Amino acid sequence: MKLTTTQKMGFAALIMAGSVFLSRLMGLIRDKVVSWQFGAGAESDIYFAAFVVPDFLNHLLAGGYISITLIPLLSKRFEEDPEDGWRFFSCVFWWTSLCIGVLTLVAWIFAPELARLVAPGFGPAESARLSTFLRIILPAQVFFLPGACVSAILYIRKQFFAPALTPLVYNGCIIAGGLLVPGRGMEGFCWGVLVGAALGAFILPVMAARSGMHGSQASTQAGLRILPVLRHPLLKRLLLLALPLMLGLSVVVMDEQFVRIFGSLAGEGAVSLLSYARRIMLVPVGVVAQAAGVASFPFLAALAARGDEPGFNTTLGSALRGSLLVVLPLTAYMIVAALPTLGFIFQGGQFSPEETIAATPLLQLLLLSVPFWVIQQVIGRAFYARQDTLTPALVGTIATIAAVPFYPPLIRMLGATGVALLTTVCLFVYTLALSLVWVRKHGSAAFAGTGTLALKTILLCLPGTALAFLAVNRLPLILPELFPSLFSYLHEALRHAVTLACSSIAFAIPYLVLARLFMPEALNLRKRRPSTGA
């Protein structure tokens, strides 16, 4: 049976969602190891801050978007002239490798100065330690960006399996590094970052591309060819597409950096607490938002290249509604269950119950941003599919620059809570502005039915949310009284697990029953088609 575009996109989204879920799970395990050994203290603050400079270098060369900018141009070139497609790919590969190599070397030399710049709240000893971590982690970028170029080949071939494994290998190496290099603080985790980047982000995609084919064009697009080419006419076009992403300061890119930079001003442990909370928030973001964006992009790019406007709007609308249908109830439940979630995942070892309580409001505020992450991820990919990278970058830059002056006063007033609050507000403003610009430029057809679906979903979540709230707040008091002998032997993490299990049932049953009764059409998105009018 031949699958429709929507079904293929859904299958690809499931692959990426599974990958991201496992990746986020391994990320949580990694942070569990960190929190168990180091809690929310100076050493973990330094470790999290060590990623500011490498991530900025990645952003400066549009590393996170290299596949987005490269796929539309490279896909079209392969269709028109496969031989020239390999020349274009090789040109991009070599220039990307050269640029990131030079920038990494410069940052490595000036690591002490950069350490003082990116963590202004650290003292001299912490800054010196941060410089050491930087010099271990920085070379990882040499593998990330060339590997992203190779992954673009795999996405064009609709081969999602190897890119899906990349974050699993990367996180696995970080965990192994932390466990296998004891007695040196968190240096082992830093070495794991470097090894994981080499194995997962570069070697794995290269091996997959060398053995992969692309449908009927296997004879011309099989394997991986890297030619000695440094000039190509399309390189200028690629730079024009990538330049807004390189120069733009998007909220979604700087979000994590602001947590680390401004968190260093909120006192010892603030960077760690914010990072732990953000890690949990990124699970639904990755599983739903990132998976939907990555999976929908190749299909949207192909529809845009063919000029199929109705198909483009249908595919975009399906991605939006399907993502919100999943993420809205998930977000509602996770906000209510924030404390037992943090307790189950992180509490223990050096991570105390007091730190669990301190991180709870941070997580709840960050979780409010999850639906906006979903919308901006999908709408952003729609802009990129039309080869418009300027609009998202411009809107994001304005939102980011406008937010920066508010961080210091909010930190003085609210501490780490101010960082979490402003991060969520910024993402809301950015998403709203980006959606309004899309409607103005391309019409509202893709949004047809989305608002109604979101409102119905929120209303149907209310009874389950109320029951889950009661379960989270009352069960820890009631169950020990009913089963004193049993609960006296349970570890604190297992007590939180019991609360999570009971509260999830309390939420899920009424929500699913009500959704079945009052919103059955939303449970089968294939029957829903948005209007194709402007």
Who contacts 367 (Cβ-Cβ below 8 Å, separation ≥6)? 281, 284, 331, 334, 335, 338
Give the model's confidence band at 531: pLDDT under 50 very low, under 70 low, under 90 confident, else very high. Answer: very low
User: Which has the closest alpha carbon to 411: 269, 263, 260?
Assistant: 263
For 365-379, what is the mean pLDDT?
91
Contact at 8 Å (CB) between 350 and 39?
yes
What is the distance between the alpha carbons of residues 288 and 295, in angstroms, rounded to a whole number? 10
Tell the residue number behind the tokens 């071939």, with chain if given. Answer: 157
Task: Write the CA distances from 172 to 17, 186, 193, integer angstroms.
Answer: 18, 16, 9
Helices (H), 138-186: 141-156, 161-180
Chain segment 26-74, per-residue pLDDT in tens:
777 888 888 888 888 888 889 988 988 888 787 666 555 666 678 878 8
Task: Check whether 266 has a pLDDT greater than 60.
Answer: yes
DSSP-assigned states of every residue in 444-479: SGGGTTHHHHHHHHHHHHHHHHHHHHHHHHHHHHHH
When mean pLDDT is compared across 73-77, 271-275, 453-457, the lowest value belongs to: 73-77
Give the model's confidence band at 532: pLDDT under 50 very low, under 70 low, under 90 confident, else very high. Answer: very low
Question: Which H or E run contains 189?
Answer: helix 187-196
Tell the residue number behind the tokens 């410069």, with chain if given. Answer: 106
Phi, psi of 206 (to 5 degrees): -65, -45
**Exposure string (b/e) for 15-46, b if CB count within 10 Å is 16 or more?**
bbbebbbbbbebbbebbbbbbebbbbebbbbb
Give the model's confidence band at 528: pLDDT under 50 very low, under 70 low, under 90 confident, else very high. Answer: very low
Q: What's the confidence (pLDDT) of residue 194?
A: 95
User: Which has the closest alpha carbon to 28: 286, 222, 320?
Assistant: 286
Q: What's the confidence (pLDDT) of residue 486?
A: 59
Who contacts 337 (Cβ-Cβ below 8 Å, separation ≥6)? 468, 472, 499, 500, 503, 504
Task: Check whether 6 has a pLDDT greater than 60.
Answer: no
When mean pLDDT is compared across 123-127, 181-185, 197-201, 426-430, the lowest value belongs to: 181-185
What is the distance between the alpha carbons of residues 246 and 390, in angstroms, rounded to a whole number? 10
Q: What's the confidence (pLDDT) of residue 212?
A: 60
Tell the residue number behind the tokens 């732990």, with chain if given. Answer: 276
What is the distance between the alpha carbons of residues 519 and 534, in angstroms, rounded to a whole number? 26
The strand pairing partners of 348, in sequence order, are 351
Contact at 8 Å (CB) between 382 and 314?
no
Who contacts 167 (Cβ-Cβ below 8 Å, separation ≥6)? 19, 20, 23, 26, 27, 200
Give the model's confidence band at 249: pLDDT under 50 very low, under 70 low, under 90 confident, else very high. Answer: low
Count Cβ atoms within 10 A of the Cβ of residue 312 and give its class: 0-12 exposed, 13-18 middle, 19 or more buried.
buried
Task: Check whether 527 has a pLDDT greater than 70.
Answer: no
Q: What's the confidence (pLDDT) of residue 252?
A: 64
Task: Write the CA distances from 147 to 94, 199, 227, 278, integer angstroms.
Answer: 11, 10, 16, 26
User: Which one-letter DSSP state was computed for residue 216?
Assistant: G
User: Mean pLDDT, the chain, as a whole number?
Assistant: 83
For 300-328, what is the mean pLDDT?
87
Task: Check whether 432 has a pLDDT greater than 50.
Answer: yes
Q: What's the confidence (pLDDT) of residue 533?
A: 35
Instruction: With H, G, I as helix, E, B as strand and everything else as coil, classify residue 214.
Output: coil
For the chain, give the percent of residues with pLDDT over 70.
84
Contact at 8 Å (CB) between 372 and 59?
no
What is the distance between the alpha carbons of residues 510 and 231, in angstroms, rounded to a whole number? 61
Q: What's the confidence (pLDDT) of residue 514?
A: 93
Q: What's the confidence (pLDDT) of residue 18?
A: 67
Chain segment 142-178, per-residue pLDDT in tens:
999 899 889 888 888 877 778 878 888 998 899 899 8
What is the distance between the alpha carbons of residues 446 and 46, in angstroms, rounded to a whole number? 44
User: Which one-letter DSSP state was computed for residue 404?
Assistant: G
For the chain, give the percent of residues with pLDDT over 90.
35
Task: Check whether 114 has a pLDDT greater than 60.
Answer: yes
Chain segment 435-467, per-residue pLDDT in tens:
999 999 999 998 988 888 999 999 999 999 999
Task: Check whether 480 has a pLDDT greater than 80.
Answer: no
Instruction: With H, G, I as helix, E, B as strand and everything else as coil, classify residue 394.
Output: helix
User: Which has the closest alpha carbon to 496: 278, 337, 352?
Assistant: 337
User: Which one-letter DSSP state was computed for residue 229?
Assistant: -
Higher per-residue confidence, 353 vs 252: 353
Helices (H), 307-352: 309-336, 338-346
What is the distance between the alpha carbons of residues 321 and 319, in angstroms, rounded to a whole number? 6
Q: What's the confidence (pLDDT) of residue 89?
A: 92
When mean pLDDT is compared across 198-202, 337-341, 494-498, the lowest value belongs to: 494-498
When mean pLDDT is compared across 94-103, 125-134, 180-189, 398-407, the lowest value belongs to: 180-189
What is the distance between the alpha carbons of residues 534 and 442, in angstroms, rounded to a whole number? 7
For 516-521, what is the mean pLDDT?
81
For 225-237, what is the mean pLDDT?
90
Q: What's the confidence (pLDDT) of residue 98?
A: 93
For 412-438, what is the mean pLDDT?
92
Task: Write the CA distances from 116 to 50, 122, 301, integer angstroms.
Answer: 11, 8, 42
Contact at 8 Å (CB) between 163 and 155?
yes
Task: Check whether 357 has a pLDDT greater than 50.
Answer: yes
Q: What's the confidence (pLDDT) of residue 530?
A: 38
Q: What's the confidence (pLDDT) of residue 219?
A: 39
Task: Write the CA distances from 81 to 75, 91, 217, 299, integer angstroms.
Answer: 10, 15, 11, 21
Give the model's confidence band at 534: pLDDT under 50 very low, under 70 low, under 90 confident, else very high. Answer: very low
Q: What's the confidence (pLDDT) of residue 214?
A: 44
